[in-house]
Each structure stands twice: as C-alpha cells, then as structure tokens.
Chains A and B, each alone.
Chain A
Amino acid sequence: MEKNISFKLKVWRQRGPKEKGQFKVYEMKEIPTDTSFLEMLDILNEQLINAGEEPVVFDHDCREGICGMCSLYINGHPHGPATGATTCQLYMRRFKDGETITVEPWRSAGFPVIRDLMVDRRAYDKIMQAGGYVSINTGGVPDANAIPISKEKADLAMDAASCIGCGACVAACKNGSAMLFVSAKVSQLALLPQGQVEAARRAKAMLSKMDELGFGNCTNTRACEAECPKCISISNIARLNREFIAAKLSD
C-alpha cells in the first residue's frame, strides 16, 4: 500500500578528504513509500539545488544491485535495514513516518571519504590487482566440457563470485577488516581447477596487499556476513585461512 511519509534525514556532509565533516538535518516532506532510497536522495538534491545549496554527493550506478557502486551506512547498517539487498534496492516503505534516518559514509581507514557520502574504494582494486585473476596462456579455445567440475564446487565458486565488491563487509566490521571480500575473491578461483595453479601465490599476495592497505585483522564477529548484500558466507574466510596457512607452511 502506497502512502506518503515525512521524516528527518540526518546526512553526513564533508567537503573534502582533509576537511572536518558534520551532520546536517534535512526535513523530507510527503515522500511516497514506493520511492527508492536513492530516488529519495535525488529528491533531496533537487530541493538543495533549487535552494542554491550544494547537493549531497553519493555513489550509485546501475541501481539494480549488481554493480557494487552504491554504499551508505543507514541507521547503523551498511546498505540499510534490508538484508541481502544493496542501498539501491532499498525502498522508503522500510521507514516510518516521523522517523530520523541517519545516513553516513563507510567509515574505515582503508576507505577514506572523498566528499559527503562518497568514499574511495580503490583499495579493493589494488587487492584484485595483487592476484585476483588467473594467468592463462592464450591459444585455441578449450572445449567447454574438457575440465570436469562437480556441481557442488561450481555452486560454491558461483556463490563466492556473487561478491560485488561494494565494501559493506569493511563498513560493518568493527575491525575494518576486508577478509570477507578477499576470501570471496580467493575462493571463486581456488575452488576451480583453473585457479588452483596459482592458489598459493594468490592467497599470499592478496592478503599481504590487504594488510598493507591498512585493513584490520578478522576476529570472526560475523558482522560482515550478516550485512553483506550478496550474503557471502564466512566459510569463505575459513577457506582463505586454510589456503594462506597451507601456502605459508609449504614455503
């Protein structure tokens, strides 16, 4: 049932990476509950522009939950109160009339704020560049069924590959650890024969890049798993631990 709600929006405003930020409260009036959260921010920005103020800067792209570009820490949850969904898949019907909605950027040393709600997530690209790929000698196209892979393994690899790299795991983690992301990116390859060739090198390179970029140590609180919009399991972290320890022991 569609209805209109009015609420206070408490938004983090910060002009630049080095500048001090603070919350600003905006009154939102008569917003239809069928509006998506990002559309609601678009409405806010239109109001701000019409009033001659600076619009709120936030990341978004596909708006269908697959690109990993949207972020936002809404009312104490990365990607808001919905589970298994990104911010762009969040609708205003999740909120109550008269509520105060607090919107913050991801807060982590690994993801510095660029402006307002937009953070720099290039650290994830650097981790991928450190080893999140398979080196294959190009040549003739191999036959599709030449390498048999069990359904179970293929499913697990696909589950891990559903990670969109949005950074919600880091945002949710009290330790600012990127282990869920790194473990998903290691697992999606380590589970398949094509990825096993470089498995040891990959686990070591990606983990040391993660540590180097200032992400924290995983203490198994499981907050990442609970907040992940793609429901990536921490069993991937156990697999990464296994891969890494085995790689170090065989050095």
Chain B
Amino acid sequence: MWLIDSSIGRKVVMSVTGAALILFLTFHMTMNCVALISGDAYNVICEFLGANWYAQVGTYGLAILMALHFVYAFILTIQNRRARGSERYAVTERPKSVEWASQNMLVLGIIVLVCLLLHLANFWSKMQLQELIHGTNFVPGQNGPTDGAFLIKYTFSQWYYVIIYTIWLAALWFHLSHGFWSMFQTVGWSGTKWQRRWQVIGIIYVTLLVLGFLSVVYLYFFKSLC
C-alpha cells in the first residue's frame, strides 16, 4: 500500500488529513465568531450541533483524522531522524529561506495537541460528552449541555486560560504557516509561481483564522474585567 510504504505516500496522508483539519478549524472559527455578536445566537448553534448524529459523525471523523495525522507525524519523525545518521553536525546554520516553523513542526504539533486536550476538558467534556452519557457534570451556572456561551464567558474570565489559549493559538499559527503551503507542495499542486502564492495565501488565511479565534478569547476576557 503506497500510502504506508512510500515516502511520498506517507506525506500525502499528512497533507490530506492536515487539509481536512484546516477546513474543520475554519468551520469552528466561523461558528465562534457568532459569539462575538450574541451569546444566545451561539447557543442556537450549540443546540443545532449538540450530540445529533451529524455532530457525532463529525467528532469521530475528526478523532480519526487527528490520530492519523499524529501517528504519521511520529513515524515520519522517527524515520527522518534515522535517515540523518548516528552522528550529528557540530555546527549548523539555518539558511534564510528556511522557515523556523518548518523545522519544528513536531514540537509545534505537540503543543497544539496538549492544549487541545485542555480545550476538550474545558468545553467538549461539559457539552457533547454530557449529552452522550446523559451526565450532569456541568460547571456551576451552566444551563444544560448546549450552554456554550456560558462556558466561553466562564473560561475566559480566568486570566491563565487566556494566556494558555494565546500560546496555543500562536503555536497553531506557526504550525499552519508552514503546513498550509506544504500540503499543496506535497500533493504536487505547486511550482515556482504557485509555491510563493500558496505561501502568501497561507499566511493571510492562517492569520485570519487565528485572529478569529483570539478575538472571542479577548472579547470575553475584557468583558469579564468590566
């Protein structure tokens, strides 16, 4: 199977799962931006998704994508370290055109994943999970499993979550600033012109994406201060 036993095949898996995860993030960010306007409107979306079959299918799909992306990342890293040989260079210097992020994708990915687990504990475990197991393990003041607006208000009124989420989103920005154009390069949809185009499109896209997420965090943080 070429997706497992060829180097390009393994990279195609990283590329396609990465693309799907970026699409998910785009959807998630768009949904969050509703909370900028109205908490009630945000809760309507939470109710619409909830633990309905399509939301469940989406969750399981995402879990599989994440797992594939993560397992392949480790396989690739182990193989690549082995290919580097047993002796390391004594002196190394990064050429100007090499992005820092491109050489630290695994570390950035691990930061993203660890913070994701925290994020799931903050929100998902109080929402969809409670609905699935018919539990009532809510945060005091939370009005049912689809009261996402309250959880946003509650989480981002605590300054340390604001810092953690900022670090998380910064790591995500760096990860995607390389990942975005890299996924097009890997599937071959690139060339001398398009490589630079994808790089610019990627930076703009990823910056908007991360700013969208950050705006919700900081709006609710400053609201909590007033």
Chain A window 104-127, contacts with chain B (Cβ cutoff 8 Å), 1 for yes, 0 for no? 100111111100000000000000
A148-175 contacts to B (CB < 8 Å): 172, 174-175
Contact between chains at B6 and A76 (CB < 8 Å): no
Does any Cβ of A come within 8 Å of B84's Cβ? yes
Cβ-neighbour of A223 out of B88, B98, B185 (below 8 A): B98
Given contacts A235-B192, A241-B188, contact A110 B92 (CB under 8 A): no
Does any Cβ of A come within 8 Å of B7's Cβ? yes
Shortest CB-to-CB span from A139 to chain B, Å, is 35
- Complex Cα–Cα for A208 and B5 (A): 9
Contact between chains at A226 and B93 (CB < 8 Å): no
Pick out which of these stretches binds chain A: B8-16, B34-42, B58-66, B135-143: B8-16
Cβ-neighbour of A222 out of B86, B88, B98 (below 8 A): B98
Q: With contacts defined as CB atoms under 8 Å apart, how many contacts are there between chain A and chain B in the complex?
A: 147
Shortest CB-to-CB span from B99 to chain A, Å, is 8
Contact between chains at A76 and B80 (CB < 8 Å): no
Does any Cβ of B come within 8 Å of A87's Cβ? no
Contact between chains at B93 and A238 (CB < 8 Å): no
Shortest CB-to-CB span from B134 to chain A, Å, is 44
- Complex Cα–Cα for A207 and B9 (A): 11
Cβ-neighbour of A226 out of B7, B79, B96 (below 8 A): B96
Contact between chains at B80 and A73 (CB < 8 Å): no
Contact between chains at B79 and A244 (CB < 8 Å): no
Contact between chains at A176 and B93 (CB < 8 Å): no
Name the B residues within 8 Å of A238 (CB-CB).
185, 188-191, 195
- Complex Cα–Cα for A221 and B11 (A): 13
B125-173 contacts to A (CB < 8 Å): none
Cβ-neighbour of A76 out of B83, B89, B188, B189 (below 8 A): B89
- Complex Cα–Cα for A222 and B100 (A): 11
Shortest CB-to-CB span from A38 to chain B, Å, is 19
Chain A window 194-238, contacts with chain B (Cβ cutoff 8 Å), 1 for yes, 0 for no? 000000000000011011001111111111011100000111011
Cβ-neighbour of B95 out of A215, A223, A237, A243 (below 8 A): A223
A–B pairs, 11, beta carbons within 8 Å: A104-B90, A109-B82, A113-B87, A175-B84, A216-B7, A216-B79, A216-B80, A219-B182, A222-B102, A238-B190, A240-B188
Q: What are the 3 closest A-B residue pairs judged by CB atoms, nearest first?
A: A242-B188, A216-B83, A76-B93
